[in-house]
Amino acid sequence: MHTIKFFLMLPLCLWIAGCVSTPVSNRSALILVPFSQEVSLGQQSYQAILSKEKESTDQKMSAIVRRVGERIAAVSDLPRLKWESRLIESDQYNAFALPGGKIAVYSAMLPICENEAGLATVVAHEVAHVVARHGAQRMSQDLLIDTALLGASIGLSGNPNSQSIMGALGVGATYGIQLPYSRAHETEADEIGLIYMARAGYDPNEAVKFWKRFSRVTQDQKPPEFLSTHPADSTRINSIRGMLPRALAEYRKTRTQYGLGVSLTAAKPASDSKSVSSISNVLNSFAP
C-alpha cells in the first residue's frame, strides 16, 4: 500500500519541484531535465543532422538566414547562447531550432516566406521553442506519464482486466494529454515568436500573411486538428490575430524597424506578400 501511494504521489511531487514559468507567456511548465543536459542533447542532434544534410552554397540567402537568426536571437530571452543559423539545401519544407541555439532553415521554405519578415516568423517561432524549453518539457512529461502509468500498473495488480485498462489509459495519455499539450507548445511558440520578431524590427502583421500562404500550400494534406500535434491553420491564424496588438505595441517601441525586410526572390525591398502557387508538397509541420 505504501509503495502504491509513493508512485501515485511522485508525479505531484515532481510537478511541484520542477515547475517554472516560461518567458513572455508566463505560463507554468514542468521541467525536470537539467539545462546543461538539454543543451548537450541539442548540440549532438544538430551535428547528427548536419552530417546527413547539405548546407546551401547560396551565399546571399545564407547570409540573410544568418542575419535574421542573429536579430531574433539578440532580442530573445537567451541571447547569450551560442546561436548559429544555417541554410540547408533541401526540397523539404522544414525549419528547426535546437537547445543550445542551433537554427536551421531548409531552402524550400524560402518561397513561402517570401521576405525577411516571413522568414523571421519561422525563425522566431523555432527560437521560441528553445527559449520556452519545449523539448525539456516533453521529456519531463514523458517521465511523468511513465511514472504515473507505473503507479496505475501496480494499482491494477491482480485485476483480470488490467491489460485492457492499461491499453485504454495509454490511448488516453496519447490523445488526452500529449497531443493537446503539443498544440499548446505550438500556440505558445507563436505567441513568444511574434514578440521576438517585433522586437527584432520585423512587422508582426506578416506572420498572419505567412500562415495564410502556408495554409494555401498545405490544404488537403493535413489530418483533422484533433489528430494533429499542431493547431489547424485557421485556428493558428485567428489566434495570432488576437496576439497582434501586443506584438504591434512592441514593434512600435523598436528603434530600428525593417518592416518586411528584403525580398527572398529579388535583391530589392519587399513591398507586399504574394501567394505561393508553385509548391505542392509540404511537411505537415515544423520540427520542434
Active site residues: 126
Contact 257, 198 (CB under 8 A): no
Contact 221, 76 (CB under 8 A): no
The residue assigned the cell 518586411 is: 260
Which residues, including other chains, have CB under 8 Å from residue 224's CB and lie 6 or more apart?
Answer: none
Bridge partners of 105, per DSSP, are 87, 95
Distance of CA 44 to the CA centre of its chain: 19
* Grid cell listed for 109: 521554405
Contact 208, 241 (CB under 8 A): yes
